[in-house]
Structure 1
Amino acid sequence: MSGYLSPGGPRVLAHRGLALDAPENTLRAFEAAARAGAAYIETDVHRSRDGVAIVSHDPTLDRVAGRPGRVGDLSTGELAAIDLGGGGFPTLVEALDAFPAIRFNIDVKEEAAADATVAAVRAAGASDRVLLTSFDERRRRRLAALLPGVATSVGSFGVVRAVLAAPLGGRAVARAVAGAVALQVPERQGPVRVVSPDSCARRTRRVSRCTSGP
């Protein structure tokens, strides 16, 4: 079993790195997060034209690079040469290798990136310090099957099931997230407030009661 969630306790995740004085999802942003004391980084991956897992939230270049084009239409070298403000698009292997003490929460944004993500995690020897997730639950299950023992977080459908199961108690929530070790819940889903101090306390107690038994 992955050691991603060990030891226990609250965890601070730097969303796309610490993107205040550095562009999001770049090695500079990850370095800033590490310097600030973050032990976990949330990031995203797409697949380059030559089949490599590339760190990028968007499938397109316009928002972060100010130019037209898609990540999947460019090679690794072409993406690395794009100036995002202190460096180009890093590969997932580069990010994992550059920060061996950091644990990564990786959102696999497209089905085409699944195999490339698995290859990158294996190449970096990072199976025990990554959590893989996707909005698509089938993709999440496929990632878990390709990397046995890796930590995963349920997709959108699993989140909905867990939220609906919460009033029924911890065992129902545990069944809703079966096969995953994490549940990442948005603060709001449309007009519905999903996360509040009370709901966090209720769900934490219920899941703890269920998972602390034999």
Structure 2
Amino acid sequence: MELLTIGHRGVMGVEPENTLRSFVAAERAGLDVVELDLHLSADGALVVMHDEDVDRTTDGTGPVAAHPLVALRALDAGRGERVPVFEEVLDAVALPVQAEIKDVRAARALAAVLHARGLVGRVEVSSFHDEALAEIARLVPGVRTALIAGRHGPEVVERATAVGAATLCLKLRHLTLETVEE
């Protein structure tokens, strides 16, 4: 099992990816925000896991969505850490959170947590999926949202505006600068 540095691309220190241990280490290291990805377990729990499958980051196999929470909790995510649910991360750190969602179902589950805990100001929701962002914006008025665009053209700003995203996340290597002479 591969251990990655804090955060998806790595910032500092080595901890098991997307574990409570990694988020606490990020806060202790002085980072400003933690980013995490949310998937739904088979029984609807908001599970913190980057990949759709548990294979790369745990000693288990298969899609997150195929396992009930109790089975996911039994997996070793590295150094004895367990797969956390979103609420545990919120309890473990005081930092702002950027939560990436993958679909409308996850948006609905996340909306319930945001409302129950009054987290509109602490959590920014990001997604590659327009429908998921539109749904979270509809369900949680005032929540900050960010559209992530892996491939993009001139229409990406219109897409972000249409789903109510305040932020647009682009890969810099895909941007080109053009000089227009008058």
Q: What TM-score, normalized to structure 2?
A: 0.81
**Structure 1's 79 and 123: CA in aligned 2 closer, same or farther, altered over 3 A?**
farther
Q: How does 1:142-153 map to 2 (within 5 A)?
A: 142-153=135-146
Preserved contact between residue 104 and residue 131 of structure 2 (Cα < 8 Å): no
Distance 2:67 2:27 in 1: 29
Q: What TM-score, normalized to structure 1?
A: 0.70
Q: Residue 69 of structure 2: which of 76, 80, 85 is its match? A: 76
Deviation at 1:31, TM superposition (A): 0.7
Q: How does 1:25-36 map to 2 (within 5 A)?
A: 25-36=18-29
Cα RMSD over matched residues? 2.7
Aligned to 1:24: 17
**Secondary structure, in 3 states, of the residue corresponding to 1:15?**
coil
State the AA in 2 paired with 1:70. P
Q: How does 1:1-214 map to 2 (within 5 A)?
A: 15-16=7-8, 20-85=13-78, 86-99=80-93, 101-156=94-149, 160-161=152-153, 164=154, 177-178=160-161, 179-188=164-173, 193-194=174-175
Residues 69-78 or 119-128, more deviating: 119-128
Preserved contact between residue 137 and residue 156 of structure 1 (Cα < 8 Å): no
**Secondary structure, in 3 states, of the residue corresponding to 2:166?**
coil
Residues 101-110 or 34-43, more deviating: 101-110
State the AA in 1 paired with 2:102. K
**Secondary structure, in 3 states, of the residue corresponding to 1:127?**
coil
In structure 2, runs of 5+ residues without a counterpart are: 1-5
Query: Higher helix fraction: Structure 1 or Structure 2?
Result: 1
**Structure 1's 130 and 93: CA in aligned 2 closer, same or farther, altered over 3 A?**
same
**Structure 1's 122 and 45: CA in aligned 2 closer, same or farther, altered over 3 A?**
same
Deviation at 1:19, TM superposition (A): 7.3
Deviation at 1:52, TM superposition (A): 1.1
**Structure 1's 131 and 103: CA in aligned 2 closer, same or farther, altered over 3 A?**
same
**Structure 1's 65 and 19: CA in aligned 2 closer, same or farther, altered over 3 A?**
farther
Residues 45-54 or 76-85, more deviating: 76-85
Deviation at 1:21, TM superposition (A): 2.2
Distance 2:148 2:14 in 1: 31
State the AA in 1 paired with 2:167. A
Deviation at 1:124, TM superposition (A): 3.1
Preserved contact between residue 151 and residue 181 of structure 1 (Cα < 8 Å): yes
**Structure 1's 64 and 154: CA in aligned 2 closer, same or farther, altered over 3 A?**
same
Deviation at 1:121, TM superposition (A): 2.3
